[in-house]
Chains A and B, each alone.
Chain A
Amino acid sequence: MSGGAGRACGSSGSPSRAAAWSLALIALLGQSARGAALSSHIVRSTPVTSGSLIIGRAVCPGRVWLLNEHLDLTEITPATLAASTHAVTGFHRDERPWGLACSADQTIWTLPAARTLARLTSSGKVVDRRPLGVPITALFAIGDRLLLAPAPPVVGFPLLATSLPARPDERRAWPGLLGRAAASRVDLFARNLVNCGMAFDRELPCWLTDATEIVVSDGVQVRRISMPFVNQADIDREAPIRDVALIERSRAWVLATSARMVNGRRAGGRLFLVADGHPLADLLLPLNSRLIVAADAARCVLLTVDGHLIEVNAR
Chain B
Amino acid sequence: MSASMVQRVVRLLPVMLVALIVCSDAKPALAATCFSDLRDCYGRAAGRDGGIWDMWAYGLDCELTFTDCTRRAIVGR
Q: Which residues of A contact B (CB under 8 A)?
A: 53-55, 57, 69, 96, 98, 114, 135, 137-138, 151-152, 183-187, 189-190, 193, 195, 209, 238-239, 242-243, 265-266, 290-291
Contact = CB atoms under 8 A, between A and B. Distances in A.
B76 A184 contact: no
Contacts of A96: 68
Interface residues of B, number: 25
Contact of B67 (A55, A69, A151, A265): A151
A193 B70 contact: yes
A277 to B, nearest CB: 23
Given A135-B64, A151-B63, A209 B75 contact: yes
B72 A55 contact: yes
Q: Which 9 pairs, one residue from A and one from B, show the smallest C-beta to C-beta distance? A: A184-B24, A54-B77, A290-B77, A53-B76, A183-B25, A291-B77, A186-B24, A114-B64, A189-B67
Nearest to B68: A96
A209 B26 CA distance: 15
Contact of B72 (A53, A114, A189, A243): A53
Contacts of B26: 184, 186-187, 190
A184 B20 contact: yes
A189 B63 contact: yes
Contact of B71 (A69, A98, A135, A183): A98
Given A54-B77, A186-B20, A186-B35, A152 B25 contact: no
B30 interface: yes
Contacts of A135: 60, 64
Main secondary structure of the interface of B (DSSP, over half): helix
B67 to A, nearest CB: 5
A57 B73 CA distance: 16
Quick one: which of A135, A138, A186, A290 has the most chain B CB within 10 A? A186
Contacts of A185: 20, 24, 63
Nearest to B24: A184
Given A114-B64, A137-B64, A151-B63, A193 B74 contact: yes
Contacts of A291: 77
Contacts of A193: 67, 70-71, 74-75
Nearest to B63: A189
B8 interface: no
A290 B27 CA distance: 24
Nearest to A267: B77
Interface in B49-77: 60, 63-64, 66-68, 70-77
Interface in B27-42: 27, 29-30, 35, 38
10 contacts: A53-B76, A152-B63, A183-B24, A184-B20, A189-B66, A209-B75, A238-B29, A238-B74, A239-B75, A266-B74
A100 B52 CA distance: 35
Given A151-B67, A190-B66, A209-B74, 15 more contacts: A53-B76, A54-B77, A69-B72, A114-B64, A137-B68, A184-B20, A185-B24, A185-B63, A186-B20, A186-B38, A186-B63, A189-B66, A195-B75, A238-B74, A266-B73
Contacts of A186: 20-21, 24, 26, 35, 38, 63, 66
B71 A239 contact: no
Nearest to A136: B64
B3 interface: no
B23 interface: yes
A151 B63 CA distance: 9
